Amino acid sequence: MRTECRFKENRKDDIWLVDFYAPWCGHCKKLEPVWNEVGIEMRNMGSPVKVGKMDATSFSSIASEFGVRGYPTIKLLKGDLAYNYRGPRTKDDIIEFANRVAGPLIRPLPSQHMFEHVRKRHRVLFVYVGGESPLKEKYIEVASELIVYTYFFSASEDVLPEYVTLPELPAVVVFKDGAYFVYDEYEDGDLSSWINRERFQGYLTVDGFTLYELGDTGKLVAIAVIDDKNSSVEHTRLKSIIQEVARDYRDRFHSDLTIPTIVVLNTSNQQYFLPDRHIENTEDMVQFINNILDGTAEAQGGDGVLQRIKRIVYDAKSTVVSVFKSSPLLGCFLFGLPLGVISIMCYGICTADTDGGVDEHEAVKKENSDRELTDDGSEEEQEEEKNGKYAALSDGELKQKDLLEKKKD
């Protein structure tokens, strides 16, 4: 309790990068050596960010306060805000996340030299151009939400390259894929949604975490299953096809498609599409995408009730297997103890019902016997009453006879 209170009181004085873990979690144990490296490198860099870890099962109130629902959960605590890390669990990615979120929300680019330097380091670059305006306020608001994913910069118009032409100021520009694109409120809609869509390259290597982030865009995600290390003709041909579609057909598909490839995922309903024939060239790839958009391509998977049940069963099975593999004794305790308690409760309920039924039967039987005894007593009393009445009538008749005899005398 003292540790919890002390952490709650002092955490706002510093910036904390915290790993919330569970002792029995296999993924947490796998992260542990990486986390130690993160702490050492952040300290050697002189970073203001303090690195720590907390057992969420022992300090459940703190874990609950920060919305920890799974393990491990990495959060950066900055003032009153808590930023959730959802990227790959590697040392470089975690450190990059910590430095990005711990730093300024909007980073200024004061010169062309600084702009070129930053542009070389970032494959996707968002820049606000102009002075104070409602658009800048909105830009800052979006940055506070999406800083966990990407950097946000600001610059004056003379800092931008000469080939950049802006229709008006202020403006928000994204530089990626060797080109630039300007935000248009009327065509692109909400600024937050636009930035969330445009923060990905047109063609990139996808891992499990990136694919999960792509799901937030609600767009179709196409995945090419190829080996970058394989230089065979088939791998090279397919890679060149999807790169060409991503580059040359952006204007045609950019509102509905992020990465063209062989397997296409619809992240809004978790459906996926497979081509019904071999993709030979760019025209085949374009036709495949058009078939998906016009509804003629056959969809598989989805988020129906049956599919959800299958996923729940799979997730539950994976969790149980993971626990038993990492710690068999702990798994037996975690799952055996609740099952034992439930079994005892069920046995008690069933036994209580049976005994209650017997007791109730005996009570009814006893009550019926009492009623019979009561009824018998009533009959005897009724008999006595009848005899009393007969005796009373006999005495009356004798009196009447005495009176008649006196009258005769």
pLDDT score for 257: 35
Residue partners of 12: CB distance under 8 A and separation at least 6: 79, 80
- 289 within a domain of the structure (yes/no): yes
Q: What local confidence, expressed as pLDDT, does residue 405 receive?
A: 60
127, 181: one domain: yes
Asked whether residue 390 carries a pLDDT value surpassing 60, the answer given is no
Active site residues: 25, 28
Provide the pLDDT confidence category of residue 284 given band limits of 50, 70 and 90: confident
Q: What is the pLDDT of residue 260?
A: 39
Residue 17: exposed, middle, or buried by beta-carbon count in 10 A (0-12, 13-18, 19+)? Answer: buried
Same domain for 148 and 54: no
| Residue 362, in any domain of the structure | no
If asked whether residues 111 and 209 sit together in one domain, one would say: yes
Instruction: Cite the DSSP H helix spans in 103-190.
Output: 112-121, 134-146, 185-188
**315 vs 169: which has the higher pLDDT:** 169
Which residues does 262 contact at the CB level (< 8 Å), separation at least 6? 222, 223, 224, 225, 238, 242, 274, 275, 279
The answer on 208 and 187 residing in a single domain is yes
48 and 125 housed in the same domain: no
- The yes-or-no verdict on residue 354 having pLDDT over 80 is no
Segment of 160-164, 197-201, 308-312, 386-390 carrying the highest mean pLDDT: 160-164
Q: How far apart are CA 11 and CA 255, in angstroms?
A: 42
Total domains present in the chain: 3
- Asked whether 300 and 273 are in contact (CB, 8 A), the reply is yes
Q: Which one of 249, 279, 301 terminates a domain?
A: 301
- Residue 41 near residue 95, CB atoms below 8 Å: yes
* Residue 94 within any structural domain of the chain: yes
Residues 224-269 pLDDT 10s: 766 767 777 777 777 777 667 666 665 555 443 333 346 676 766 6
Q: Examine the domain organization and report whether 56 and 33 are in the same domain.
A: yes
More confident residue, 161 or 325: 161
Residues 122 and 87 in one domain: no
pLDDT higher than 60, residue 223 = yes
User: Looking at the predicted structure, is the pLDDT value of residue 23 above 60?
Assistant: yes
Residues 122 and 27 in one domain: no
pLDDT reading at 363 higher than 70 = no
For 41-97, write each residue's pLDDT tens digit.
Answer: 999 988 889 999 999 888 888 888 888 888 899 999 988 888 999 888 899 999 999
The pLDDT of residue 142 is 93
Q: Which of 102, 136, 160 is the last residue of a domain?
A: 102
Q: Are residues 8 and 52 in the same domain?
A: yes
DSSP per position, 356-385: HHHHHHHHHHHHHHHHHHHHHHHHHHHHHH
Tell me if 405 is assigned to some domain.
Answer: no
Residue 359, domain member (yes or no): no
Whether residues 77 and 11 share a domain: the answer is yes
Read off the pLDDT of residues 180-217 as tens digits, 9 standing for 90 and up: 999 998 888 889 989 988 888 777 777 666 776 776 66
The domain in which residue 277 lies consists of 264-301
Whole-number percent of the chain with pLDDT over 90 = 28
Question: Mean pLDDT score of the chain, rounded to an integer?
Answer: 77
Residues 104-125 pLDDT 10s: 999 999 999 999 999 998 889 9
In a domain? residue 290: yes
- Tell me whether residue 75 is in a domain: yes
Domain of 132, CATH number, reads 3.40.30.10
Mean pLDDT is highest, among 32-36, 255-259, 305-309, for 32-36
DSSP 299-359: EEE-S-HHHHHHHHHHHHHHHHHHHHHH-HHHHHHHHHHHHHHHHHHHHHHHHHHHHHHHH
Q: Residue 289: which pLDDT band, with cuts at 50, 70 and 90?
A: confident
CB 330 within 8 A of CB 323: yes
pLDDT of amino acid 267: 65
294 belongs to a structural domain: yes
In this structure, are 196 and 289 located in the same domain?
A: no
139 and 72 assigned to the same domain? no
